[in-house]
Structure 1
């Protein structure tokens, strides 16, 4: 028996909406948005279903969550904050004495319940039930529409072509990153020259030139240690068969030296998150490197 989850949005001043799996994935990954709810807090319901032969058989659980939409209609910032409170709500640390007990887990649990949880009413659940097992056309709820374009189907041939081409990307990155600055300058100039001469491959040569320019800028920034740098602490949880970064804490700094000092401080301030299944990993990086990563971060401190 398969298990699936459906999501519904209960806007404050309008009828409930059904959310497609594609839209929910886009919202949680930051690739989609609902701008009509910008700068607002809206109620959502998750519905866990048992399925048989691809059809919903019964509801096993429902839960209410509150999504906080930012100025662009995205929810990732609120989801990251809720995750941080959920992590802090776990009391890992042993009491230092018989009378000293950390209040942080209790405060985080309260904030999580007050700001990110709600209890759907029986009427709310009945609306969902009628949508899942409609008896009339009117029982079906309208679909929410995001802003991202619908993803076209990826055929087997297209996927195979992408995989074949991408299999050599690491070689390109390794070759360019191994070049010293004088060689990089020559590489960029020659790639641009070839883009104008070999028109059939002009887009590929132009892409190589841009990669080379990025590497030149990164090399210059690392050499000088100036500009925008980030102190980064990853909170890494050990699962049964893999590890997962569940939280990223960062601080924007002016220069590499300041970032190193900030990283040390962040490790100390978040040491209570460490236990037998959770580790902390600190690093410093330029904003150019940060922009390449897909971390769900806590934002700038």
Structure 2
């Protein structure tokens, strides 16, 4: 089976969305600035394939994507998913799930804001694109902003996997060093980057990692500077945790961050249950920069 996605702008011909573009939009690595700040209708057709060729359309569905100010949809998808899950509801006798953590939203609102019903003409237009009889039957393909990736061959992927397999050892070794040891480590790594040209770039990368770790440790010792108070609500199932809600605030100084973290923890304490934990954490600005990248990963 395969999915085909189409965008139906108002007063404009529909556009075909490549799988690469859709994956990029969902992952947050691509965008469509031409639709920034708008809501657009998306028709998805699920196809049965025969040796890679479309055999028949199994079903179609209409959804609405909300594009942010830069033309991305990731934030809108997260909001839509949360509202759809909330509309499902859970009885008090059933096990706790993520939907217990959010207000109940009516299914009517979900249908109005996040779904639409493609017309027969809409579906027929998609059919023409899937099985074109003339050149005019093919729809134009929508464009994103990311460049097409070069193909990743098996050899290239295998090489990357082999190299990345030892990354954890490098990070673990650096994280175990104290500040005095890190100073010597950084100096020696940078010296070796000049003395050993064959691995100079690798030594430079290791030195940068150690420098970042050194700056984090120094920031943790200071009560001043930018700090972040973070509270995460985590749903646990079969010993696997999934963050279902995250609240944070930027603070000036460690003391303010501690006070803010306590307030956020108290405000979200009611979400704690048998399989839901609520945890607070303090992060320096450098730690926040690294952590916030993982939020969207």
**TM, length-normalised to structure 1:** 0.81
Which residue is equivalent to 1:49?
A: 47
CA distance in 2, matches of 1:126, 1:240: 45
Cα displacement (A) at 1:90: 4.2
Inter-CA distance 240–219: structure 2 relative to 1 (3 Å threshold)? closer
Aligned pair count?
Answer: 288
Which residue is equivalent to 2:226?
A: 228
Aligned to 1:149, what secondary structure does the other structure show?
coil
Cα displacement (A) at 1:159: 1.5
Cα displacement (A) at 1:219: 0.9
- Correspondence list, 1:104-119, <5 A: 104-106=103-105, 109=107, 111-119=109-117
Aligned to 1:31, what secondary structure does the other structure show?
coil
Cα displacement (A) at 1:183: 1.5
CA distance in 2, matches of 1:106, 1:76: 21
State whether structure 2 residue 287 is matched by structure 1 residue 289: yes
CA distance in 2, matches of 1:274, 1:6: 41
Which residue is equivalent to 1:81?
A: 79
CA distance in 2, matches of 1:19, 1:148: 14
Contact preservation (8 Å) 2:83, 2:105: no
Question: How big is the alpha-carbon RMSD for the aligned residues of Structure 1 and Structure 2?
Answer: 3.1
Aligned to 1:63, what secondary structure does the other structure show?
strand
- Correspondence list, 1:110-189, <5 A: 111-189=109-187
Write the deviation string for residues 52-79 of structure 1: whole angstroms up to 9, x where unpaired.
4333333333222222222322111212
Contact preservation (8 Å) 2:28, 2:296: no
Inter-CA distance 220–116: structure 2 relative to 1 (3 Å threshold)? farther
Inter-CA distance 193–281: structure 2 relative to 1 (3 Å threshold)? same
Q: Which runs of 5+ in 1 are unaligned?
A: 96-102
Which residue is equivalent to 2:99?
A: none
Aligned counterpart for 2:29 among listed residues 25, 28, 31: 31
Contact preservation (8 Å) 2:43, 2:118: yes
Task: Between 250-259 and 202-211, report the one with greater CA deviation.
Answer: 250-259
Cα displacement (A) at 1:206: 1.3
CA distance in 2, matches of 1:32, 1:176: 34
Aligned to 2:290, what secondary structure does the other structure show?
coil
Aligned to 1:170, what secondary structure does the other structure show?
helix
Aligned to 1:33, what secondary structure does the other structure show?
coil
CA distance in 2, matches of 1:135, 1:279: 57
Contact preservation (8 Å) 1:80, 1:296: no
Aligned to 1:25, what secondary structure does the other structure show?
helix
Contact preservation (8 Å) 1:93, 1:272: no
Write the deviation string for residues 164-223 of structure 1: whole angstroms up to 9, x where unpaired.
111111111011111111221222222222222222222111111211111112112222
Contact preservation (8 Å) 2:36, 2:70: yes
Which residue is equivalent to 1:202?
A: 200
Aligned to 2:207, what secondary structure does the other structure show?
helix
Cα displacement (A) at 1:279: 5.0
Inter-CA distance 136–26: structure 2 relative to 1 (3 Å threshold)? same
Inter-CA distance 231–83: structure 2 relative to 1 (3 Å threshold)? farther
Write the deviation string for residues 12-40 of structure 1: whole angstroms up to 9, x where unpaired.
34221111111111111111111222222
CA distance in 2, matches of 1:173, 1:273: 34
